[in-house]
């Protein structure tokens, strides 16, 4: 069994596998999703591994706020002036497939609700 907290996203941070990176700072990285579900589909991740939002702690408060501000900045950079959706999937029922916390930015089309 693989107990390493590392996922494919750690490899993207280290540039070991390619990704279209649209934003980077000391704490966060944003890159285009490999299987886009909307005309704009970008993932914002912390460089520090937090597997799921359920495992975030009080100590992560500033980092989590930072990720949201990065998401809105990237949405602006992508000209999503008509709006967009931010999504965090958590665990099995949440549909999470990569266990490195990420915020999906989805935009460029009208979203449906409920999401399914």
81 vs 87, beta carbon nearer ligand 5GP: 87
35 catalytic, yes or no? no
Find, among 23, 19, 24, 20, the residue nearest to 8 by Cα.
Answer: 19
Is there binding between residue 92 and ligand 5GP (CB under 6 A)?
no
58 vs 116, beta carbon nearer ligand 5GP: 116
**Measured distance CA(38)–CA(111) in Å, rounded:** 9
Q: How many residues does the chain have?
A: 116
Show which residues are catalytic.
Answer: 102
Binding site for ligand 5GP (CB under 6 A): 8, 19, 31-35, 43, 89, 95-98
């Amino acid at each position: 069994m693989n107990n390493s907290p590392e996922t494919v996203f750690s490899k993207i941070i280290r540039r070991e596998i390619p990704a279209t990176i649209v934003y980077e700072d000391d704490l966060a990285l944003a890159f285009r999703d490999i299987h886009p579900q909307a005309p704009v589909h970008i993932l914002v991740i912390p460089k520090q591994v937090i597997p799921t939002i359920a495992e975030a702690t009080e100590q992560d408060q500033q980092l989590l706020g930072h990720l949201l501000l990065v998401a809105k900045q990237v949405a602006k950079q992508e000209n999503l002036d008509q709006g967009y959706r931010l999504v965090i999937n958590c665990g099995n029922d949440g549909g999470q497939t990569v266990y490195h916390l990420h915020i999906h930015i989805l935009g460029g089309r009208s979203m449906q609700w409920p999401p399914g």
